[in-house]
Structure 1
Amino acid sequence: MRKFTCRFLAGCATAFVLAACGPTPPAAVVDRYDPAKMDLKPVPAKISAERHTGPFASGAALNLSAELKPLDPAPVKEVRLDTTHKIIEIAPGVKFSAWTFGDQVPGPAIRARVGDKIRFSMTNRSDETAPGMAMTAAPMMHSMDFHAAMVSPQDKYRSVAPGQTIEFEFTLNYPGIFMYHCGTPMILEHIASGMYGAVIVEPREGYPTKVDREYLVIQSEFYAKPSTDGQKVDGAPLYVLDSEKLRAAQPSHTVFNGSHNGMVKTPLPTKPGERVRLFVLNVGPSKTSSFHVVGTIFDRVWMDGNPDNQMRGMQTVLLGSSNSAIVEMIIPEAGSYIMVDHHFANASQGAIGLLSTLEKPKRTELEHHNMEASSTPPDAGAAAAKIAFESKCFACHSVGQGKKLGPDMAGVTKRRTEAWLTQWMKSPEKMLQTDPDAQAMLKEYNNIPMPNQGLSDEEIKQYIAYFRWIDAQPDPSKITAGGGH
């Protein structure tokens, strides 16, 4: 019995030693998003009647253009973005009554890192006018909603009246590209009027790759129509928000960084062999973006701008409203690389830009991707018809660039009387039954009839006014580059 006990104890000791010498259990994985280590109790917001003066935006962390500055190292970012109402130009000749953060659309981008504190203040200055501004909309309530923050909306995102100032702070807990926007009802109208921007939050340890250039691209929609009261800006119609088209999600313009073809006229520079990082944000407010760069492949894609959400070798990135991504790519050789929403209905409305190694890229490189904005008729009705024509009719008709599925519209008011055009647009199917000219035109264009567009009498008058304006131009073929696409 004694021998058995000793052998048993010896065996246990050996087993214990062997167990102790075995593989070390894996260390506990550190959760970088541990809520226990996050700042989730910011101080309450303050609202006062103390009004900001001077610049509408300030702070070392702000970026005012597509080209991004290096990260400001300060752990506390003082950010001021005041609201204004002003006129902006969203396309050549299209002066739009906008609402802004920091007096620009998009609003200035904020760049920071995880763990930084944003100390934010905003005065509602929608009741002010200043040099270069024009008051086209009544002062109203505004607010700020930061998607990058983890705070009580009832406290921090309160609406403030004209002349009031709100101040609050929050700590950045997650990396990413986050939208900010006005959260005052109707939110849809405030975003569509220009009240949006980006917060870029880097990981605490920085990005895992090194790049040569960094740019911000924000996609958004405008829903513009000429003012019904005939207001003008520099002799051209003032454009205002089209609430009906806004609710139907039928934009008049879809753009990058607030301007139709803005990064075509001023391409983002690069060089062959460089690695480029794009911070891409789709603010909507209602449409989805299929972001693509012609001529290269996204080596890395970090969805919502967080490197933990990585994909490799992507051709296109699908972004819903308020979604974002960081995309990195190599520029393989000299040339112009077209940034485009591959939902080409959006691209045709202005969602296009260039990354280019060339000083002056050829404009023909954009063919089939985009329609350049044409000049705008001074008559509000004709201007409204121009928007409708360019969104509905370019698939079948050109302006001064030859026949397509239907006739070239240049010279139409010289070929047809106003009465004939009115009857044709009102009821083309009836005209085809009795009118010899309509029947001859149908035969000429391969028996493809024009569908009835259901136009009202007022819309028909606007179309005729637009056609008369086209025919009064010295060279109609030059008033729009998109007419031949």
Structure 2
Amino acid sequence: MSFVALWAVAMAAHAQGKTADEFDESKMVYKSNPATLSNQRHTGPFAVGSSLSFDAAIKPLDRARVKTIQIDTTHKVIDLAPGVKFSAWTFGDQVPGPVVRARVGDTIRFSMTNRSDEIAPAAISFAAPMMHSMDFHSAMVSPQDKYRSIAPGQTISFEFTPNYPGVFMYHCGTPMILEHIASGMYGVMVVEPRNGYPTKVDREYVVVQSEFYTKRDPDGRKIEGQPLYVLDTERVRAKAPTYTVFNGRYNGMVDKPLFAKPGERVRLFVLNVGPSNTSSFHVVGTIFDRVWLDGNPHNELRGMQTVLLGSSSGAIVEFRIPEKGKYIMVDHHFANASQGAIGLIDASGGTSEREIEHNNISVTATPIDAPAAKGKANFENKCLACHAVGGGDKVGPDLLGVTKRRTDDWLQRWLMSPQKMLASDATAKAMLKKYTLPMPDQGLSEDDARQLIRYFHWFDEQGKPAPAGAARQP
């Protein structure tokens, strides 16, 4: 056979085996039926659908090609941080809203009732009912039709077909959009490629970063004796958040880590909601083998240390857990990390949240001494997410025995000015080297620091033995 004939046979074989264009516009769906609006409200659960997940552990893809989902709006008070009760607006009665998982070409049948005029069972709400809407970044539809604002008690229903794979944001699009997002009205929709992802993994989780802008309620209202916090619109416009968090809570993914095992491959669906700042997402102790920008495998980067995400930007990151340990997820914009954008992947062998809490001091024990009791309250509000008392390190060192390792003067200076200490103090520098993340400045007063130290002395005097090697901790 001549060379020309051989070449022709080879090209024909290549054409037969060639993968179809995943972005063939002739296969995309651009049209849908008009949205419908009614006054027949949903009752019962605020979010319904087999393709919805309600926490960080995302469920596998529902294989049905038509996915029916209900995500209603509510107003409720959420626990944003220890001691911080925030008046939020939600999708599905939670912040972030439930995760939607689908694939390219599926039909999404969506409905939403504006239930901001209801109070969910066992919930408390202080916000007045108002107009809300839904904007899916994964959809290609007329915003004027599908994303219209609806009044309390109204229900909107529409369909769409996702044409592109990705990690997409959804949010309320009712003006002022900035305030609705900053109040908690956002979530994630994961759209897989038609034929799935090109890699296999052992674990899948969703991590949503977002900002909160809070101030004490001007009317001085309280909940269970704690002050109510509301949206600070001036801070929102100044892009000056009070909290930057993963999955809707300050240090929430330290309190409730993600679990994995050494050697496993982990896939994280990461979304930076914003609404205004960027994220530099990083996992301490590993390298991102693959990063798919916006969650699309065609946008692939390899061997990345961090992934930079603007507001409403998403990514899929995959990595191997190299060995036993606790791997810190963090926004490497450390100002954001200091506001709560920290989480843990626990591959230490623990099997439950309780096992990794490492807090052997009874949570019901309270010092009789008033300053120490105030110190305990400050500790549980500002320190407990990152530090244990007896049992082992968390994000930072175990504090049992700290008054035997440090002088009160050192502790006072450290608590009040950690950044200054890190610049000049050898012990502080050694702790940073060991624990990687700098101690955040908590804005403590002299009295706050003294009360914390009194509490440290109190638990060190309880007679509980420190863990082996604790005295050698830096």
TM-score of the pair, normalised by structure 2: 0.75
Q: 2:72 aligns with which of 82, 90, 93?
A: 82
C-alpha distance in structure 2 between counterparts of 1:341 and 1:83, whole Å? 29
Larger Rg: 1
**Shift of residue 30, structure 1, vs aligned partner:** 3.7
Provide the secondary structure at the position in 1 that maps to 2:412: coil
C-alpha distance in structure 2 between counterparts of 1:272 and 1:90, whole Å? 32
For the 8 Å contact 1:217–1:257, the answer to whether it is kept is: yes
Provide the secondary structure at the position in 2 that maps to 1:158: coil
2:157 matches 1:167: yes
* Change beyond 3 A, Cα 1:93–1:73: same
Equivalent position of 2:231 in the other structure: 241
For the 8 Å contact 2:415–2:449, the answer to whether it is kept is: no
* Change beyond 3 A, Cα 1:475–1:376: same
* Change beyond 3 A, Cα 1:478–1:271: farther
Equivalent position of 1:475 in the other structure: 454
Provide the secondary structure at the position in 2 that maps to 1:179: strand
Stretch of structure 1 that moved more, 355-364 or 326-335 = 355-364
Equivalent position of 2:208 in the other structure: 218
Give per-residue Cα distances to partners, 1:124-164, cap 9 Å, x unaligned.
00001232222211100000000000000000000000000
In the alignment, structure 1 segments of 5+ residues that lack a partner are: 1-16, 365-371, 378-397, 409-444, 446-462, 480-484
Letter in 1 for 2:47: A
2:96 matches 1:115: no
Q: Number of aligned residue pairs: give it.
A: 384
C-alpha distance in structure 1 between counterparts of 2:137 and 2:175, whole Å? 17
Letter in 2 for 1:162: P
C-alpha distance in structure 1 between counterparts of 2:340 and 2:171, whole Å? 22
Give per-residue Cα distances to partners, 1:414-464, cap 9 Å, x unaligned.
xxxxxxxxxxxxxxxxxxxxxxxxxxxxxxx9xxxxxxxxxxxxxxxxx99
2:2 matches 1:23: no
For the 8 Å contact 2:204–2:267, the answer to whether it is kept is: yes
Provide the secondary structure at the position in 2 that maps to 1:239: strand
**Shift of residue 477, structure 1, vs aligned partner:** 5.8
C-alpha distance in structure 2 between counterparts of 1:400 and 1:158, whole Å? 58
Provide the secondary structure at the position in 2 that maps to 1:403: helix
For the 8 Å contact 2:168–2:294, the answer to whether it is kept is: yes
Letter in 2 for 1:98: A
C-alpha distance in structure 1 between counterparts of 2:274 and 2:144, whole Å? 24
* Change beyond 3 A, Cα 1:248–1:476: farther
For the 8 Å contact 1:178–1:324, the answer to whether it is kept is: yes
Equivalent position of 1:357 in the other structure: 347
Provide the secondary structure at the position in 1 that maps to 2:21: coil
In the alignment, structure 2 segments of 5+ residues that lack a partner are: 360-376, 383-407, 419-424, 426-442, 459-473
Letter in 2 for 1:205: N
* Change beyond 3 A, Cα 1:160–1:41: same
Give per-residue Cα distances to partners, 1:270-308, cap 9 Å, x unaligned.
111101111111000011000000001011111111111
Equivalent position of 1:258 in the other structure: 248
2:309 matches 1:319: yes
**Shift of residue 402, structure 1, vs aligned partner:** 2.1
* Change beyond 3 A, Cα 1:407–1:288: closer
2:142 matches 1:145: no
C-alpha distance in structure 1 between counterparts of 2:265 and 2:231, whole Å? 39
For the 8 Å contact 1:127–1:162, the answer to whether it is kept is: yes
Provide the secondary structure at the position in 2 that maps to 1:264: helix
**Shift of residue 406, structure 1, vs aligned partner:** 7.1
**Shift of residue 23, structure 1, vs aligned partner:** 3.2
2:30 matches 1:40: yes
C-alpha distance in structure 2 between counterparts of 1:51 and 1:399, whole Å? 61
TM-score of the pair, normalised by structure 1: 0.74
Provide the secondary structure at the position in 1 that maps to 2:411: coil
